[in-house]
């Protein structure tokens, strides 16, 4: 045995021992999670027990990141713990998570980022079905896009919050890399048409104008849908991400064609439960104002007075005659906080409609 082989043997023996210890500890943790499930069932009832606890998961992940000393980066260790909690939760009860399909969309990627890979992902044909599945209890949770750093709000998603009774249970951000994809072995064929979701065309507008100014743009319901179509089409390309490229076995013409280098989408997690405070939370509200001068000021002033920071405000037509509006407001804090309770009570008097969409932990990873 050479000196190098000897040194490697010693280190690999060490790794084997550590792996064994990790494995024992992982199973000990899983046993604890199983006991947690029994406690929940005995106190809340077998049917009503709430297994997924976003506030607890956020606290676990934040603590993992805070105490991390390296050499592994804190985000990577948190990602590993994300998967550990995912398998532990699946032992308690596998979670069915609805998303806009088919398989391979950025939303599916977001669902796995948030719930880990032990979640069962359920593709839906349209966004409305994601809300409906959750509302009907057919899916435990749903994941929907809400805003993109290049293109702004997903207004269709906002409008669906008014129509459905669901709660926001969480949020997450996903860095979006768009690729131009073609069918296997078709990289040399000239491209005459490009499939993509409207939003993706917008995120890649300048790149497409400069590289494919004459190609026809065909809008599809999701990028994965476009990727699926080009599998069997010659002269056609799709704009989609890594997951769709891998799943539909497409060749990449060009990677990362998004115009802005930090193109990121924020997603919301839909559920039916009240999420307890995690210590660093956001709350979302939908408000309708009286159609009179100063109405918006009246709605926003209580936030200032009670020292609450707004993180987003979005206006949408109320759909009840011209020029009446709904406001979607995100702010820091939890609806169980005293100052938030006071603001909500005041707003109930000032507004014509108030819907508390949910309080949830701020995105951790
Ligand atoms: O603490 C709980 O309530 C658990 O069920 C355990 C656990 C975990 O693995 O740490 C698993 C799932 C929940 O979403 C939160 C945490």
Dump pLDDT digits (tens) for 133-161.
Answer: 999 999 999 999 999 999 898 989 999 99
CA angle 197, 199, 203 (to 5 degrees): 115
Residue 324 has pLDDT above 90, yes or no: no
Residue 269 and residue 115: Cα distance in Å, rounded?
10
User: Measured from the CB, is residue 89 less than 6 Å from ligand 1?
Assistant: yes
Q: Which atom of ligand 1 is nearest to the CA of 56?
A: 15
Domains 179-254 and 281-361 share a fold: no
User: Measured from the CB, is residue 36 less than 6 Å from ligand 1?
Assistant: yes
- What is the chain's mean pLDDT, rounded? 95
User: Measured from the CB, is residue 88 less than 6 Å from ligand 1?
Assistant: yes
Distance 331 CA to ligand 1 centre (A): 26
Q: How many CB atoms lie within 10 A of CB 136?
A: 11
User: Measured from the CB, is residue 55 less than 6 Å from ligand 1?
Assistant: no
Q: Which atom of ligand 1 is nearest to the CA of 53?
A: 14
Establish whether this prediction's ipTM goes over 0.95: yes
Q: Which atom of ligand 1 is nearest to the CA of 40?
A: 3
pLDDT tens readout for residues 266-300: 999 999 999 999 999 999 999 998 777 888 888 99
Residue with the smallest CA separation from ligand 1 atom 8 is 85
This prediction has a pTM of 0.95
Which CATH number fits the domain 281-361, given the four candidates 3.40.470.10, 3.10.129.10, 3.40.190.10, 3.30.70.260? 3.30.70.260
Which CATH number fits the domain 3-91, given the four candidates 3.40.50.300, 3.40.50.620, 1.20.59.10, 3.30.1490.270? 1.20.59.10
* 311 in Cβ contact with 295 (< 8 Å): no
Residue with the smallest CA separation from ligand 1 atom 11 is 89
pLDDT tens readout for residues 85-144: 999 999 999 999 999 999 999 999 999 999 999 999 999 999 999 999 999 999 999 999
CATH class, 179-254 region: alpha beta
């Amino acid at each position: 045995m050479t000196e190098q082989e000897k040194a490697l043997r010693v280190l690999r023996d060490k790794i084997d021992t550590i792996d064994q210890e990790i494995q024992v500890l992982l199973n000990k943790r899983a046993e604890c999670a199983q006991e947690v499930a029994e406690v929940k069932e005995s106190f809340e009832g077998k049917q009503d027990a709430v297994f997924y606890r976003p506030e607890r998961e956020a606290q676990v992940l934040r603590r993992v990141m805070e105490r991390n000393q390296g050499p592994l980066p804190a985000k990577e260790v948190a990602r590993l713990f994300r998967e550990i909690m995912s398998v532990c939760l699946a032992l308690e009860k596998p979670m069915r998570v609805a998303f806009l399909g088919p398989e391979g969309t950025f939303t599916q990627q977001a669902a796995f980022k948030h719930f880990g890979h032990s979640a069962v992902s359920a593709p839906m044909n349209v966004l409305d079905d994601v809300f409906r599945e959750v509302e009907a209890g057919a899916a435990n949770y749903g994941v929907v896009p809400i805003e993109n750093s290049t293109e702004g709000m997903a207004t269709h998603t906002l409008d669906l919050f008014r129509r459905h009774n669901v709660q926001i249970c969480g949020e997450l951000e996903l860095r979006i890399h768009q690729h131009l994809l073609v069918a296997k072995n078709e990289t040399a064929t000239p491209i005459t048409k490009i499939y993509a979701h409207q939003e993706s065309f917008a995120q890649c507008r300048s790149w497409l104008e400069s590289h494919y100014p004459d190609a026809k743009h065909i809008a599809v319901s999701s990028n994965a849908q476009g990727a699926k179509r080009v599998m069997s089409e010659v002269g056609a390309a799709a704009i989609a991400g890594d997951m769709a490229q891998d799943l539909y076995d497409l060749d990449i013409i060009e990677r990362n064609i998004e115009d802005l280098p930090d193109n990121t989408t924020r997603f919301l997690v839909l559920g039916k439960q009240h999420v307890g405070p995690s210590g660093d939370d956001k709350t979302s509200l939908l408000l309708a104002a009286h159609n009179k001068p100063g109405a918006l000021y009246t709605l926003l002033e209580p936030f200032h007075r009670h020292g609450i920071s707004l993180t987003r405000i979005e206006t949408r037509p109320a759909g009840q005659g011209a020029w009446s509006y709904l406001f979607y407001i995100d702010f820091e804090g939890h609806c169980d906080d005293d100052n938030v309770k006071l603001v909500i009570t005041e707003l109930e008097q000032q507004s014509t409609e108030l819907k508390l969409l949910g309080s949830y932990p701020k995105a951790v990873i």
